[in-house]
Amino acid sequence: MINKRILSIGCLLLSFQTQALVPPQYQEPATGLTAEVEAGLQLNTGNTQSTSFNGRTRLIYDTKKAKQEALLKAYFASDSEKTTAEKYDVQLQSNYKVDSGYFFGRGEGTWDEFGSYTRLYTGSVGYGFDAISSYATKLKLEIGPGYQYSLAKATTTEPDPDANTDVIVRAAAKFEQRIHEYSSFTADLTAETGQNNSAVTLDMGYKNILFQDLAFKVGMNVKYTEVVPDGTEQVDTVTTFNLLYTFQ
């Protein structure tokens, strides 16, 4: 009987100690890491005419003082005879947060065997801030100088083109609108203005959540380049229909 009482008292004390070590309101700390993986069908118009497969991976590591973001896109298409599209995009951005906004460093690289420019590398720095930041609506604005390297596509009139370098000013607006609990719309507008060339890119997407971490996404990327080689078009569009999975 005494042993049972001692055992009961010991269990009670152990329970109290456990509650003291782990408060009722305790929650596991957030890692700050988010990953998105999507893949699906692609329709191209402009310099590339094809229907093909595309993939996209986005990694974000967000903390109180900084935010790191990496984006990788891959496009590939072929018909019964040959490859008709092959393009890879890599974007890396690091934000250092301050009270009024953030300072950023950004690097981009594009390898496009069928585009007006087969190689395009851009590095930029600058300042960004939240113009609107609410649960339903978000708008970020960025501006800063940069440097760009580009290699035009070989043509019959220019079979061995020289690479071009240019100092640019990059301005970007990143908009996000939550339509309701399960769907959202995003639109990123970027303008890169240089002495030798300028380009404007609009990247839009509509996402609808199917399950907790799985969503259906429709995207459209439109890019206008002011100066392009002979025989190529100024406007390229990419339309995608993807399934997107989010890891948090």
pLDDT tens for residues 152-180?
988 888 888 899 999 999 999 999 999 98
Minimal CA–CA distance to 201: which of 220, 229, 227, 216?
220
Distance between CA atoms of residues 12 and 149, nearest Å: 70
Q: Are 87 and 111 in contact (CB under 8 A)?
A: yes
pLDDT score for 156: 80
Consecutive H or E run containing 176: strand 164-180
- The SS3 call for residue 65 is coil
Domains of the chain: 31-247 (2.40.128.130)
pLDDT score for 57: 96
Can you list the residues of the chain whose pLDDT is less than 50? 2-3, 5-7, 9-10, 12-29
Distance between CA atoms of residues 171 and 193, nearest Å: 9
pLDDT score for 77: 83
pLDDT score for 17: 45
pLDDT score for 159: 84
Tell me the two tokens of residue 87: 């393009």
Alpha helix segments (H runs only) across the chain: 2-21
pLDDT score for 42: 65
Terminal Cα-to-Cα distance of the chain (whole angstroms):
52
Question: Using CB atoms within 10 A of its CB, is residue 113 exposed (0-12), middle (13-18) or buried (19+)?
Answer: middle
| Residue located via tokens 């896109």 | 73
pLDDT digits (tens, 9 = 90+) for 22-43: 444 444 445 689 999 999 976 6
Minimal CA–CA distance to 167: which of 148, 154, 152, 180?
148
pLDDT score for 50: 64
pLDDT score for 18: 45
Label the pairing between strands 66-78 and 83-98: antiparallel
Name the DSSP class of 154.
P
pLDDT score for 64: 92
Q: Are 166 and 197 in contact (CB under 8 A)?
A: yes
